[in-house]
Amino acid sequence: MKPIEIADYEVLSAVNDPADIRRLTLPELNRLAQDIRTFIIQTVAASGGHLASSLGTVELTLALHYVFNTPDDRLIWDVGHQSYAHKIVTGRKDRFATLRKKGGLSGFPKRSESIYDTFNVGHSGTSIAAAAGFAEAACLAGDKHKTIAVIGDGSMTTGMAFEGLNWSGDRKKDMIIVLNDNEMSISPNVGALSAHLNQLMTGHTVTRLKTDLKNFLKSIPGIGEQVFKMSRQLEESLKNMVVPGTLFESLGFTYVGPLEGHRLDYLIKNFENVRDLPGPVLVHVITQKGKGYKFAEENSPTYHGIAPFDVDTGKALATSTIPSYTQVFGRTLIELAQQDDRVVAITAAMSEGTGLDLFAREFPKRMYDVGIAEQLAVTFAAGLAIEGMRPVVAIYSTFLQRAYDQISHDVCLQNLPVIFAVDRAGFVGEDGSTHQGIFDLSYLRSLPNLIVMAPKDENELRHMLKTAAQSAFPVAVRYPRGKGLGVDCSETLKILPIGKGEVLQDGNDAAILAVGVTVYPALAAARRLAEEGLSVSVINARYVKPLDTELILRAAQTGRVLTVEENVLQGGFGGAVLELLADQGKSGVMIRRLGIPDEYIEHATQAELRAQYGLDEEGIFKALKALMAGGGQD
């Protein structure tokens, strides 16, 4: 498909903000939806991104901006995977080609990017709680604007979403929750009937009639309250036959739906009716992931988050024969499970993203997907461990943060042999600040009983997993996003000594203590320095906890130590080395720490970020030169 300029789009070219949408006719709105789909497909094909979810919410996005007076009315997205159409119609279409590129548009709603982005998102389940805060603030201020939260059915598996429902239903403040259900299917006949019924049930006449009837029944002397209760029971019984809204209504919400999410006429009419309903309302909308692009419709998980691809074939543009760390993890876990029937795997709605889809095919009865519920995953693993299993919890670093209390209280406090496979640790690249895995070394190493490891390459990852599976303690193994280095992974699995690093190169003038993905760049930098006649020791730390005291003290004897990590400096590996040397009374050692400063990291490629923060070979080389010239720790 040949790229099309914005000026070539029939309707999209004239839409610069939601006010333009509100001037369109229904046929023009439908054409705008087609334009936006084509625009999203072409852009994501070039830049990568979250395709299937955004294709599924085009009509929903247009209907919301058409009916509600955004940005005065507050529109809050959950996660933000589905917000590309929202970005396009809120003044960002001319910059949409910069999506997820350094200095360009974020892949998620971001308050600093647009007044239409009312809340920063990236993690699931936050929208209802945030909307509750917005609605409460509006009430306190006496404002009349509307608050609308859009949440996917997957995000509704989070405990936080149900906490928000429970609170909001009880508070009775005016707010609208749109449940974007893209896992169910709905036939045209059912969709038409349901849409018609809800247009009737949300209309002003019927709403007023229901209120008048309620008051009349209650006013009947002696039996009024009983008759009213019987009428409510009959209403609920009939409603259960056609709509699945009893749960939400029992929580205090007026339930509307399910609505066919790709019919703009249905959506607009129902949102117009819902807009004027008092109290909390939940609108249930059925959409199709990948709508309008056959490859995404047929295989939405693959096109959820995808690298650049060819539009005509749907195939990725860049392929590599080198397996990713995630793939190596998945294959190694299968090997461990074949050796030990106590090994089980747990994921939080990310079986493919964590490589556990391979495990699920091999051991379906030993694979557990708990939904987007990281806290549940960790405490569930604790229960399994107490009963003699060897649970492996595979969760991205950024999402594991959500279960910190459970790691501490339910696993480490009880000293249980749970293995945390911390995927996407360090820079994750284009997903940006909400997804960078740069805090795990800091938040994990402070916990008693927990062993924390980071491999220098994919083969060492295999051995670390074997070591963790044989440990009687909780273990976290953190590894990066993306392909490995292509090292030989045919070696028989072996157990590594706990708390022992590896000397890769001896030297007398200085020492580098590196961990994880920084090890090989550090080795390359040291070898460049050798060309200038300087001798630098390079140590693969392997363990952030417990540290290899003997090796670190030996490194300190050179008088100059450089620590390197792809983690924030506060509380990280370098800080642990400083603490050890201080405890050992080793003064007079010049130390420089390389890592990530005290800030959130925006989106760019992993290579760009490593260069920006001096964690590639060139950056480490420059830091070594400065250290040799006398520049120690600031």
What residues are labeled active site?
289, 374, 402
3-state SS, residue 175: strand
Count Cα neighbours of 566 within 13 Å in the Cβ-side half-sphere: 33
Q: What region, left, alpha or beta, does residue 65 occupy, with left being phi > 0 and alpha being psi -120 to 50 degrees?
A: alpha
| Bond before 258 cis per omega within 30 degrees | yes
User: For residue 453, what are the β-bridge partners?
Assistant: 477, 543
Instruction: Map tokens 């999410």 to a residue.
Output: 261
Angle at 72 between CA 66 and CA 78, to 5 degrees: 75
Nearest by Cα to 66 from 272, 288, 261, 277: 272
DSSP structure string for 354-395: TTHHHHHHH-GGGEEE--S-HHHHHHHHHHHHHTT-EEEEEE
3-state SS, residue 585: coil
Q: Residue 213 has which token pair?
A: 């009837």
The single-letter DSSP state of residue 98 is: G
Q: Residue 117 and residue 77: Cα distance in Å, rounded? A: 8
Nearest by Cα to 621 from 515, 510, 517: 510
Per-residue CA distances from 174 to 165, 179, 245 (Å)? 13, 16, 18
Percentages helix, strand, coil for the chain (3-state, rounded to 5) are: 45, 15, 40
Note the maximum CA span of the chain.
102
> Which stretch of DSSP H or E encloses residue 325?
helix 325-339
8 A C-beta contact, residue 87 and residue 112: no
Nearest by Cα to 374 from 336, 330, 306, 422: 422
β-pair type (510-514, 536-540): parallel
User: For residue 282, what are the β-bridge partners?
Assistant: 177, 255
β-pair type (536-540, 502-505): antiparallel
Long-range contacts of 195-198 (CB under 8 A, 24+ apart): 195/259, 195/260, 195/263, 195/266, 195/269, 195/270, 197/242, 197/243, 198/256, 198/257, 198/259, 198/270, 198/273
Q: Residue 551 and residue 573: Cα distance in Å, rounded? A: 14
